Structure 1
């Protein structure tokens, strides 16, 4: 995920960059609004998600948000997460009304920021084809069903999310934490063995060898 962080506080910016880089994100930093606009308008540096501080030295962040949204009328929509010390209800309402996709106030926990970014990534990720096929397994993303050798099975939401994640990324190992992050919302409580139960149920429908376990590491599907 390519993230553009628009933040003029050097210490905070470095902390966010270090935290997000640990989960394999590519982070670009803009400390001025005009610098951010140049990065967004350039196809070579246009990000997947924007984190926007409203207190910028050269322009008000709300004005920058309006410019970003105006640009997106003729370009690809980029989710914007506003990250700011402006914590009044009026400020939050204004930010969301002006087009922000999420609004998080300072101070904040890094884990919550990362979870909110994952939600925005999931929402913005396009589905190119209703059917994803690997071997004798076909996952239909419209009907939440899988087909194995002509036999169809329905999938509950969380089983579907796990299988979709693995089949969209064949050969990539996902850890327990990564799958939990993709399946559950950031504020949901997760039972210790719930992920194992979901994977067990999926294997009953796909066959025990379709999702492979890498002991101590995680799970993957091989194309």
Structure 2
């Protein structure tokens, strides 16, 4: 019987959580254990707290040493190769409205870190949905982190393209799919910053760097 999902403290220690993730990925004896660690973490958080996992990844990207970032990136890429990327589910969307199952259980397909963040921004649900500025910073952090693995951009971009091309099932809106396609194409050819700019442009926004340049 599954235990009740964990709950976050009022003021989570994000740095400590990021350090635990780095230590686990760096010191696990093999790839199986690293992938299992990511799966256990997301299973413990549950779908409602999956954004906390994204936040921890962003902390690693922003504050981790290159070695720490590489350890987490390699674990994520190994999970991606095995079809076990740590994922969260959001409420499915139909005709522009969220659709939930019995008891409010989300019906959408599982989404990995990058595609979850894009869907969350494109289809905001709840008061904690990311602003354009938060989305910009978080997406860039995630892409830079994953890109610490040399094979990651091509692998992950292929995943995003495949998701964008799947028949409509209520998981992603048309806008989110277009953003994923733009992100995937730009990530392959121009790196993380180009990918963020492409995703924001597709969703009708501008990156912080573009806004700063326009203000000069």
Please confirm whether the aligned pair reaches a TM-score higher than 0.5, indicating the same fold.
no
TM-score for the superposition, normalised by structure 2: 0.31
When you count helix as a share of all residues, which structure comes out higher? 2
Q: Which has the higher contact order (CA 8 A, sep 6+)?
A: 2
Larger Cα-atom Rg: 1
TM-score for the superposition, normalised by structure 1: 0.30
